Structure 1
Amino acid sequence: MDLVEVLPNRLHMLRFPIGQAYLWQDGEQGGGGRSLTLIDAGNIESAAEIEGAIRSLGLLPERLERIVLTHCHRDHIGAAGELAARWGARVLAHRLDAPVIRGERPVPEPVLLDWEVPLYAHGLTVPEAPPTPVDQEVEDGDALGFGDGAHAVHAPGHTDGSIGVHLPRHGVLFTGDCVAAVGPLMLGVFNVDRARAVDSFRKLAALSPAVACFGHGDPLTSDTAAALAKAAADTAS
């Protein structure tokens, strides 16, 4: 796992062989620690690495208050249950993906384009995620309790309950897998409904963030709003 600083003393990316998560720090709290939020949680084998990354930053893992899951795929939710049980964090996810995360419904099958088929097979090498309790089901616009006003942005298409996480006061947007930056900025792959995913891409781009963090690929921190707007406009349904 690689630990990459995105915003000093605020935001780090935790990059795994497939996929990534993000650690957000809020201001100083009582007892000398900082309130921590994890956006996505890697695969089932990632818990120890995530804890180690938190400690390496001089932070306390017991300050992990919440884990916000952008969608129900195994490379994003795998370690959430273990981390929540270990440190008392609450798990948040959209209402439509929460039953999948809890293991009550199967993971929805994507409608693959021909060129996505071998990539999808590679992604299935990630271990399956265990059923994970969801403490709070969110809807579009719901406050998430961190980041001076972070809220959920329903962005369906990759899955029915995919969300972006928007921190307007900090100009930060987490897109989940709706948008990818592996090579050129593009619509994410493996969508259950490509047309809805394109609409969601445009919805997220319209937020005009200064920093965009993706489920796959390096964060965008320069000319971000313009790049997102162009890529979204150029994406065909």
Structure 2
Amino acid sequence: MSYGSDYKYIPTTSIGSGIGIELLPDLYCYTIQIVNIVLVGKPETNEFVLVDAGMPESANKIISVVEGRFKKNSRPRAIILTHGHFDHVGAVIELVEYWKIPVYAHELELPYLTGQKSYPKPDPSVEGGIVAKLSPMFPNESIDLGTNIHLLPSDGSVPHMPGFRWIHTPGHTPGHVSLFRENDRSLIVGDAFVTVKQEYLYKVITQEKEMSGPPRYLTTDWKAAKQSVEKLEALKPSVAVTGHGAPMEGNELSSNLKMLVEKFDQMAVPNYGKFVDNDRLH
């Protein structure tokens, strides 16, 4: 297993870093610098999974969080990846080596997780603030998980996450998925939409809560991104854990998500940038 040659620690953080939130007895969100990991499973059962794998060089922190939430020497049954960007797979190799567990992702994401294909380089020209301008420093090369990476089941189920199903939500990446549980309408979003303006350093640092589309500097297909948000809003989620920003629930979630769907072109799609369609989706 190996990371890309551009793999490195990114010295960016927020006031939310190090804070964990229990949204439900079996749904726990924890912020690693500027990105969220999710632990799904009740602590008393010790049957749980990890959704996404944090920032580069965060493995020790994630192991500590897991053992604090569950018990010493606990290990998840699997790691589920919403997608393969550097801030969602940052510690995955160290975690797989330590826990000896499988990783699951969508078929269209596999080339980026098996050393076959790198993501397009982030777009510093996209409309946004300092984070967008600094985005070329972010790793984009493929990592290689070798035989440890597995396809999510074609029937839509999620391994070791009973009641959840995966939903293909492309746009931010080709194989991006979100995870949804029908019985309580819990949604683990990944970066299909986020609750912080990820392009602006001040908002990233302060974690000012604000419904937003996927991070602009890494989103390559805005038409698909819009359709993915529409798909998720139609589920009428009651609680949503996003890849970046604080979780949302209840009326705050439903009203903001409805507004994002209705005004996606204005709220989410940048006015300029190399991945923006000339026809502005119309």
With the shorter chain as reference, the TM-score category is 0.7 to 0.9
Aligned pairs for 1:60-71 within 5 A? 60-71=72-83
Q: Is 2:232 the partner of 1:232?
A: no
1:21 is aligned to 37
Give CA-to-partner distance per residue, 1:161-190, whole Å, 9 cap, x none: 111111222321111111010142011123
Q: Say which of 84, 99, 107 aligns to 2:96.
A: 84
Q: Is 2:130 the partner of 1:101?
A: no
Give CA-to-partner distance per residue, 1:102-122, whole Å, 9 cap, x none: 221112345676324742343
Q: CA deviation at 1:135?
A: 2.9
Label 1:226 to 1:140 Cα distance change in 2 as closer, same or farther (>3 A). Answer: farther
Between Structure 1 and Structure 2, the one with more strand by share is 1
SS in 1 for 2:62: helix
Q: Say which of 121, 127, 135 aligns to 2:149.
A: 135
SS in 1 for 2:190: coil
Q: Distance in 2 between matches of 1:141 and 1:179?
A: 24
Q: CA deviation at 1:125?
A: 4.5
SS in 2 for 1:196: helix
Q: Is 2:188 the partner of 1:188?
A: no
Q: Distance in 2 between matches of 1:84 and 1:170?
A: 30
Q: CA deviation at 1:151?
A: 1.4
1:3 is aligned to 19
SS in 2 for 1:213: strand
Aligned pairs for 1:141-156 within 5 A? 142-156=156-170
* CA RMSD, Structure 1 to Structure 2 (Å): 2.4
Q: Is the 8 A contact 1:153 1:163 kept in 2?
A: yes
2:236 is aligned to 208
AA aligned opposite 2:22: V
1:161 is aligned to 175
Q: Is the 8 A contact 1:174 1:212 kept in 2?
A: yes
What is the percentage of aligned positions where both structures have the same residue?
26
Q: Is 2:63 the partner of 1:51?
A: yes
User: TM-score, normalised to structure 1's length?
Assistant: 0.87
1:172 is aligned to 186
Q: Is the 8 A contact 1:148 1:169 kept in 2?
A: no
**Alignment gaps of 5+ in structure 1:** none
Q: CA deviation at 1:232?
A: 1.6
Q: CA deviation at 1:87?
A: 1.1
Give CA-to-partner distance per residue, 1:17-66, whole Å, 9 cap, x none: 2212111114754xxxx112111101231110011011122435543111
Label 1:126 to 1:19 Cα distance change in 2 as closer, same or farther (>3 A). Answer: farther
Q: Is the 8 A contact 1:157 1:191 kept in 2?
A: yes
Q: Which has the higher contact order (CA 8 A, sep 6+)?
A: 2
Q: Is the 8 A contact 2:41 2:49 kept in 1?
A: yes
Label 1:178 to 1:125 Cα distance change in 2 as closer, same or farther (>3 A). Answer: same
Equivalent pairs, count: 233
Q: Is the 8 A contact 1:40 1:69 kept in 2?
A: yes
Q: Distance in 2 between matches of 1:123 and 1:89?
A: 31
Bigger-Rg structure (1/2): 2
AA aligned opposite 1:55: E
Instruction: State which drifts further: 65-74 or 108-117.
Output: 108-117
Label 1:21 to 1:126 Cα distance change in 2 as closer, same or farther (>3 A). Answer: farther
Give CA-to-partner distance per residue, 1:176-210, whole Å, 9 cap, x none: 11101014201112311111101111111111111
AA aligned opposite 2:120: P
Label 1:52 to 1:162 Cα distance change in 2 as closer, same or farther (>3 A). Answer: same
